Amino acid sequence: MGHGVPRLKLTKFQIVWVSLLAATVSILFIFGLCVLTVFPLPFGLLIAGPPFVIVIAACFTYISGHQWQTDPSILVDVKRQLVVYNCQTTLPFVYPLYILGFVSLTGVNQVVFVAVLPIIQIVAKNWISRALADDHDQKPQCVIFVVEVYNALYVSNVLQTATSWASTATIMAVDLLQFWVSMIDMVKLLKEVNLLMRKIPPDHPCAKENFVQVAVRLLNTEQHQNTIGSTAGTMYTEKKMSMDVAGSKNERKYLVLVEYVEVVLPFVYCLHQFILFHMPNSAHYPALAGLSREEFTAKMLSTLLYSFFELGSFVMMVIVLKRRLGYSGLQQLAFVLDVYASVVQTKLNLIFVYIMQVSLDHHGADFTFKFAWLNSKRKF
């Protein structure tokens, strides 16, 4: 919350004790339910979420309520971040339902069901984008490191459960279509910017500058639009360019981050699974328990193929940006990961640890929703 609302003052001590209190309450809540009902509790990690969120919200309101009263604009920013957080806590409930539908189908039906995946992405992205409204600096990293991270990791999971190569190929084809549409929009926007650059008068200071230099100049001077000596036509052109440059900047940032996530996370997922496969506790992960080396390799192959496919898309995107703008997408990626390092690492660690641990037997995650251990306990 502090990253999304920098003006909100929270001490490290407050953050630590609130986190410990919320974690303690959620653990005791799950422990109590297990004592009264059954262990493992079906989807225990999801059930632990509501009490955790309630404690965090209550403590957060108590600590920072006076700041909201002093500066009402902070409350507006807080509400925006709460909407993002609501989306982040909703996706763990949505994706298991998607996996249930996917593993319940076979053949052509499974291939067709792949189309539901981009629908989930679009809804979640619009949810966050509308919440953040004009906060263009926060929007790309919030959308990518919430929606795309969940999607990339769950896609890696789905690829291992696909019953045919047709399903795997369809997932890749859908991703290729999304990438192609994004690139078309990007190229179209860049063409508009280039056309506007040609309208800059020859004697204007920007006339001999490249796209990046013009972008920096316009974005830095956007608040000073009433330039002395500028004609109405020139002012209109600069305003239009400023809007297009801002749009191009956000579009590039979004596209670069999407491709980065889709390349890196499947690799990280496979590395995690490879290490886990050779450890004794792999017996407690249904997806790995009892697998031979050949079966494990076959499962990992489709995920690695998907990651290499995304690597090709990433390289293509970098080449297009370099040729069209004379600007490296890798530099922009490095800039975003450096500026938002703490935010990115926090979200990646939280989501990655959750998704990697959710399938553990002790957490009761059964994506078939049969919960066989409940039936066996009833018979006993």
- Taking the C-alpha atoms of residue 274 and residue 287, their distance in angstroms, rounded to an integer, is 12
Interhelix angle 341-357/329-339, rounded to 10 degrees, is: 90
Inter-residue contact 113 to 227 (CB < 8 Å): no
Inter-residue contact 344 to 140 (CB < 8 Å): no
- Taking the C-alpha atoms of residue 127 and residue 239, their distance in angstroms, rounded to an integer, is 29
Question: Distance between alpha carbon 84 and the CA centroid of its chain, in Å?
Answer: 11
Inter-residue contact 96 to 367 (CB < 8 Å): yes
- Taking the C-alpha atoms of residue 358 and residue 361, their distance in angstroms, rounded to an integer, is 8
Neighbours of 55 (CB within 10 A): 19
> Which strand (E) or helix (H) includes residue 37?
none
Query: Does 40 sit behind a cis peptide bond, omega within 30 degrees of 0 on the bond before it?
Result: yes
Q: How crowded is the C-beta side of 15, counted as CA atoms within 13 Å?
A: 8
Inter-residue contact 280 to 268 (CB < 8 Å): no
Residues 6+ apart with CB under 8 A from 83: 127, 128, 131
Q: How many residues does the chain have?
A: 380
Return the amino acid letter for 252. Answer: R
What is the DSSP track for 62-84? HHHHHHHHH-HHHHHHHHHHHHH
Encoded tokens for 283: 């017996």
- Taking the C-alpha atoms of residue 354 and residue 310, their distance in angstroms, rounded to an integer, is 24
pLDDT tens per residue, range 318-365? 887 777 766 677 887 888 788 878 777 877 787 788 777 877 888 887
pLDDT tens per residue, range 147-181? 877 777 777 766 666 556 666 677 777 777 777 77
Low-confidence ranges of the chain (pLDDT < 70): 1-7, 136, 157-168, 186-187, 189-190, 192-200, 204-254, 325-327, 376-380
- Taking the C-alpha atoms of residue 242 and residue 256, their distance in angstroms, rounded to an integer, is 21
Encoded tokens for 303: 């995920």
The beta-carbon contacts of 345-351 under 8 Å, at least 24 apart in sequence, are 346/3, 347/145, 347/146, 347/149, 348/145, 348/149, 351/88, 351/145, 351/146, 351/149, 351/150, 351/153
**Sequence ranges of the domains in the chain:** 114-379
Neighbours of 214 (CB within 10 A): 21
* pLDDT of res. 374: 76
